[in-house]
């Protein structure tokens, strides 16, 4: 006889009701309406011939977005952090030296993950607001002779875009794989993986691609694939093992896991929209709207954290004025106006706001709306006697 149902935790809830937010923080950003409609379609099986065809379209479009011919280019079933971990899990063998160029929070995460796969992790560090010179990287690579150099292209915590000229050649000269974090640049900032000689890269679905979080684009070039296939033991992460996933995403289509079908519907539409706009146009749009934001913030007397020549068009770090409670102001924007702006991470916690203009959200009307609120609402959070801002 079955025991009676325990109703201690039973609650009667109404249908989910979330407010409309304008997400101008470090991510996620608002998804494109076309992508949201794709997500709402009736699922089909993850081995259905129509879904298999869609998988090929997603791979082709990801190659375009990254400007690569890498065959092993797939969306990992997981967030961007899963794709980040996949790049390291598949290529590190215990004892490998991994050099991580740390100039912000996500460089530290790369170092942490590499250590968990028993790499000999060496870090090269810069202040949070600077980028690495080629000479600095060359000296470190020549000294430590790493198997992998890991670096963040678009550092979400600082708003810094790392110049890439010469780094791929440097890694080839020293027989070292180049691993690049493109989480806050894919689809929005110029990226040329093959021309830059990048061996491994990863990103996310919820920023420049205008899709909700849940997929982690991943790509692996021939040099990285050769290292993976020559490893002495199995990849120590079953779920992210590309030797297995390759059979599902490759020509064999061998079952590995139940893929998030509807998320890939959304990814397919997001990438299709990007291709329809064209990379050059998307990159120019993000740059134009970022410059509109930068000019407006500076006219209001606010100071930008990143030097102009290194600024990310997708993520702007603004120094919180002296005496202002930065968190109180962002809560005010969220609760009173439905706009999300991010705070600082790590070394920049409490020191900056992080404003994202990514994908579908990178539009002039969003810039103007936010600038208007900074002009009209921020004075109430400044200490008494602070001069009024210049009107935008």
pLDDT digits (tens, 9 = 90+) for 290-300: 999 999 999 99
Structure tokens at 331: 């809560």
Tell me if 257 sits within 8 A of 77, measured CB to CB. Answer: yes
Instruction: Domains for the chain: give ranges and CATH numbers.
Output: 22-26+279-381 (3.90.1150.10), 33-275 (3.40.640.10)
- pLDDT at residue 107, rounded to an integer: 97
Burial (CB count within 10 angstroms: exposed 0-12, middle 13-18, buried 19+), residue 144: middle
- pLDDT at residue 8, rounded to an integer: 84
H or E element in which residue 74 lies:
strand 72-77
DSSP single-letter state for residue 391: P
Q: Which residues of the chain are modeled with pLDDT < 50?
A: 389-392
pLDDT in tens, 76-96: 999 999 999 999 999 999 999
Residue 74: is the preceding peptide bond cis (ω within 30°)? Answer: no
Rounded distance between C-alpha atoms, residue 358 and residue 187, angstroms: 9
Q: Residue 76's CB: how many other CB atoms inside 10 A? A: 26
Query: Checking phi first, is residue 149 left (phi over 0); if not, alpha (psi -120 to 50) or beta?
Result: beta
- pLDDT at residue 166, rounded to an integer: 98
Q: Determine the length of the chain.
A: 392
CA nearest to 353, candidates 389, 388, 314, 318: 318
Structure tokens at 77: 């079933």
- pLDDT at residue 385, rounded to an integer: 62
- Between CA 42 and CA 69, with CA 50 as vertex, the angle to 5 degrees is 120
CA 63 to chain CA centroid, Å, is 17
Phi, psi of 159 (to 5 degrees): 80, 20
List, in sequence order, every residue forming a beta bridge with 181; answer none if it has no partner. 152, 202
CA 389 to chain CA centroid, Å, is 33
- pLDDT at residue 278, rounded to an integer: 98
Where are the alpha helices (H) located in the chain, listed in sequence order?
33-39, 49-66, 80-89, 105-116, 134-144, 167-173, 222-229, 242-249, 261-277, 279-299, 326-337, 364-377
Structure tokens at 180: 């690049």
Output 112-119 pairs: Cβ under 8 A, ≥24 positions apart. Answer: 113/84, 113/85, 113/88, 114/88, 114/148, 114/150, 117/88, 117/89, 117/92, 117/236, 118/92, 118/94, 119/88, 119/92, 119/94, 119/95, 119/148
Handedness of CA 271, 277, 49, 265 (dihedral sign): positive
pLDDT in tens, 120-154: 999 999 999 999 999 999 999 999 999 999 999 99
């Amino acid at each position: 006889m079955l025991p009676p149902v325990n109703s201690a935790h039973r609650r009667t809830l109404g249908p989910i009701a979330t407010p409309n937010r304008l997400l101008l923080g470090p991510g996620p950003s608002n998804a494109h309406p076309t992508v949201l409609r794709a997500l709402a379609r009736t699922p089909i099986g993850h081995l259905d011939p129509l879904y298999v065809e869609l998988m090929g379209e997603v791979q082709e479009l990801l190659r375009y977005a990254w400007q690569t011919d890498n065959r092993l280019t797939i969306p990992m079933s997981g967030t961007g952090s899963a794709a980040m971990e996949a790049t390291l899990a598949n290529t590190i063998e215990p004892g490998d030296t991994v050099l991580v160029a740390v100039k912000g929070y996500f460089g530290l995460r790369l170092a942490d993950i590499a250590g968990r796969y028993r790499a000999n992790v060496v870090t090269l560090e810069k202040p949070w607001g600077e980028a690495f010179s080629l000479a600095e990287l060359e000296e470190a690579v020549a000294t430590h002779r790493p198997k992998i150099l890991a670096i963040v292209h678009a550092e979400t915590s600082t708003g810094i875009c790392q110049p890439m000229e010469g780094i791929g050649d440097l890694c080839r000269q020293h027989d070292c794989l180049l691993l690049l974090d493109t989480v806050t640049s894919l689809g929005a900032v110029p990226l040329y993986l093959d021309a830059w000689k990048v061996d491994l890269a990863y990103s996310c679905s919820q920023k420049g691609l205008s899709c909700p979080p849940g997929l982690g684009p991943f790509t692996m070039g021939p040099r990285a694939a050769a290292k993976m296939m020559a490893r002495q033991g199995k990849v120590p992460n079953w779920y992210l093992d590309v030797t297995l996933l390759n059979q599902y995403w490759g020509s064999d289509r061998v079952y590995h896991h139940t893929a998030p079908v509807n998320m890939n519907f959304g990814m397919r539409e997001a990438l299709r929209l990007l291709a329809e706009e064209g990379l050059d146009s998307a990159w120019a749009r993000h740059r134009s709207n970022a410059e509109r934001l930068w000019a407006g913030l500076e006219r209001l007397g606010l100071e930008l954290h990143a030097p102009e020549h290194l600024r990310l068009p997708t993520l702007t770090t603004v120094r919180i004025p002296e005496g202002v409670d930065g968190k109180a102001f962002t809560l005010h924007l969220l609760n009173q106006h439905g706009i999300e702006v991010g705070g600082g991470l790590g070394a920049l916690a409490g020191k900056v706001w992080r404003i994202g203009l990514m994908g579908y959200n990178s539009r002039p009307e969003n810039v103007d709306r936010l600038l208007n609120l900074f002009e009209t609402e921020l004075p109430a959070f400044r200490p008494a006697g602070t001069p009024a801002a210049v009107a935008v």
